[in-house]
Amino acid sequence: MTKEPTNIVWHHATVTRARREAMNNHKAVNLWFTGLSGSGKSTLAHAVEERLHQLGCRTFVFDGDNVRHGLCSDLGFSVEDRSENIRRIGEMVNLFLQAGIIALTAFISPLKNDREKVQTIIGSDNFLEIHCACSLEICEQRDVKGLYKKARAGIIKNYTGISSPYEAPENPVLRLDSGSVPLEECVAQVISCLQKKQVI
């Protein structure tokens, strides 16, 4: 459990999020891509970032594997460690939002409670949940790392979709059929969503 900080006061800078957003000519927001391993979360997040970059937006992608090489390298894959992993990401995203950046996060984040904690950290208005709704069958067919095969053989424990649950979002801002809809069309739907919400 995280300890409450003592003798620490948040410093309020004169350069605010609003001023940074005005300079960037777009709002800061978090696009939270969630789904099973192999559902296309990272591929979609990076493709959306490329499109946003072409539009002149300031962006950053947080990818599950990449984050575990540094910020969360001390964590395992128990339920507790996975929850702490998501909490840390939420806190990091919050800082990026204050910097006026569109933060794209691609994490399995299988538990509804953990995703709700992120909303609490960054504010529900900043949290745009995007469900990459790809069937387990297709995800296993895409299993280039062989992780599902190892999970089915019992070599990998607590693997989402096999030996650990995935709680699909109930009301995501977008639910994309990333198993059959072309990547370009999924990107277009995300960009359209950001335009309708006047983020960009």
CATH number, domain with residue 67: 3.40.50.300
In this prediction, residue 131 carries a pLDDT of: 98
Residue 77 has pLDDT above 90, yes or no: no
Residue type at 60 in one-letter notation: F
Residue 109 lies in a domain: yes
Mean pLDDT throughout 124-134? 97
By CB atoms closer than 10 A (0-12, 13-18, 19+), residue 29 is buried
pLDDT, tens only, 9-32: 666 778 999 999 999 999 999 999
Share of the chain above pLDDT 90, in %: 76
By CB atoms closer than 10 A (0-12, 13-18, 19+), residue 102 is buried
In this prediction, residue 79 carries a pLDDT of: 79
Q: What angle do CA 125, 120, 194 make, to 5 degrees?
A: 25
Residue 13 lies in a domain: no
Number of domains in the chain: 1
Residue 46 lies in a domain: yes
User: Which tokens hold the place of 73?
Assistant: 């390298």
Residue 5 lies in a domain: no
Q: Which residues are catalytic?
A: 109
Residue 18 lies in a domain: no
Q: Determine the Cα–Cα distance for residues 25 and 7; give it in Å rounded to an integer.
A: 37
pLDDT, tens only, 144-190: 789 999 999 999 988 999 988 999 999 999 999 999 999 999 999 99
The residues near 158 (Cβ < 8 Å, ≥ 6 apart) are 77, 78, 79, 164
In this prediction, residue 180 carries a pLDDT of: 93
